[in-house]
Amino acid sequence: MSGPGPDRLARAILWHLGLQADRRQPWLEEPDVREKVIGVLGGMGPAATLELFGRILKLSGARTDQEHLRILIDNNPKIPSRTLAFRGKGPSPVPELRRSARALERAGADFIVIPCVTAHYFHAPLSRSTRIPIVHLVREAASFVQARYPAVRTVGLLATTETLAAGLFQDAFAGTAITALTPSAGSQKQRVMHAIFATKGVKAVGPTPWSKGLIVDAANALISRGARLIIVGCTEVSLVLRDGDLSVPIVDALTVLARVAVERARGRPAG
């Protein structure tokens, strides 16, 4: 005759320890088989990928290892520069993006998120290369702003020059009552892009008081022009700008992406 199953044995042990042995004990609960697997197409840059992973963990509301979501990450820093490709000065990142997306699909991801805003300029050709959906970070951020801040009519954008030139956020707000302000040419170059790409910028050395100061100055310039909300539209800027740093609300596209990933995987609102 076979002995007691592992579940019954666990309950017996808990009974002897004087603990409540019922299905409400989180370590006895089975994982939700309906949960979807998140695929992260990362490496653009690696620090932003790590930050997204951390934010997904925080938003999951998990109390045990088993309650966390399954996440597959392809941290591929060999993807060619999206910035140089947009300028016509470098190879297209699409072939390498496709390789990573297909690798995540083969590994079992149900959908893909990309913690790089500029990469979404290539969203359309990339989406055609996989059978699983690729979340559009920019559209999700725009939808979040409209749903969470319905009274706001003017937002300020902090993003790379290429993201702004491509009109990714501007297109996402087209047809709405929201006006999107972008930094002046001087502020964009000397503050935003310097903070991201300079030799002591976020890409090179990570977040520092110097890079944060430049970003805060750029944001305050937008606020002085009438922005009532600042959108963090670059995942490197996400590493330096936090809630409370400004006099107006901040909507961080990376946090929105983490929330959407959790909600899609769980099939319910994130905690």
Interacting residues of 195 by C-beta distance below 8 A, sequence separation 6+: 201, 202, 210, 211, 212, 214, 215, 218, 236, 237, 240
Region of 207 (left: φ > 0; alpha: ψ -120 to 50; beta: rest) is: beta
What are the residues facing 40 on neighbouring strands?
A: 73, 113
3-state secondary structure 114-157: CCCCHHHHHHHHHHCCCCCCECCHHHHHHHHHHHHCCCCCEEEE
How far is residue 271's CA from residue 29's CA, in Å, rounded to a whole number? 19
- Among the listed residues 116, 126, 240, 257, the single catalytic one is 116
Q: Catalytic residue at 147?
A: no
Q: Catalytic residue at 116?
A: yes
- Among the listed residues 137, 234, 250, 262, the single catalytic one is 234
Q: What are phi and psi for residue 86, nearest 5 degrees? A: -65, -35
Active-site residue list = 116, 234
